[in-house]
Amino acid sequence: MAIIRKLNGMEPRIGKNCFLAENAVIVGDVTIGDDCSIWYGAVLRGDVNPIVIGNRVNIQDGAVLHTLHKRSVVEIGDDVSVGHNAIVHGAKIGSRVLIGMGSILMDNAEIPDDTIVAAGAVVLSNAKLEPGVYAGIPAKRVKEGSEEISDSALKNARGYMMYKEWYLTCYEEVIPENTNVNIEKLTAGNKEKIYKNINNK
């Protein structure tokens, strides 16, 4: 189960049929829609302003969502992918959008529907983009919006819908056969004894 914490009276609200990785962190004023997936090491920190996520959104491994105190919010539409290690800091994202790996969206930037932000791109504060593909630092439009771009972003989001169903239905812990320690035996009463035996080997 993910690390989910209430803060200053604000409690995360999570929709139906979502996959939350064990070490994902969801704190404070965070709203997550239905059929979303929050992957390993992702952090959604709604401590100073709201984070609102629509339906069928995937927040991939290592991504960070945060805001400025009382000056920006994170809003994400439907069918959106936020790639590995991306940062969304107080930005607004429409629907059918792909945010590439390692990209950065700064405060009060607005990403419209049917848009792709390429890996490593930086969208500056207060930028108001038009549909299309954006790349570079700072991010500039390299391709105008099209049905092909919209379909590409939607296809990525649908792929993650499939992945998260695997994790909801076929996911189980495995203890390697060759391990020297039976993890199930690591109870409070015998941890010290087991660790002592390991260290003496």
The ranges assigned to domains in the chain are: 3-154
Segment holding 155, helix H or strand E: helix 147-169
The pTM score is 0.87
CATH code of domain 3-154: 2.160.10.10
Q: Partners of 174 in the beta sheet? A: none
Which residues in 47-61 are b (16+ Cβ under 10 Å) and which e? Answer: bbbebbbbbbbbbbb
**pLDDT tens-digit map of 144-189:** 999 999 999 999 999 999 999 999 999 888 888 776 655 454 444 4
Q: Partners of 133 in the beta sheet? A: 116, 143
**pLDDT tens-digit map of 85-132:** 999 999 999 999 999 999 999 999 999 999 999 999 999 999 999 999
Which residues in 135-167 are b (16+ Cβ under 10 Å) and which e? Answer: beeebeeeeebeeebbeebbebbeebbeebeee
Closest-CA residue to 141 (of 128, 153, 151, 150) = 128
Asked if residue 195 has pLDDT above 60, the reply is no
What integer best gives the mean pLDDT of the chain?
91
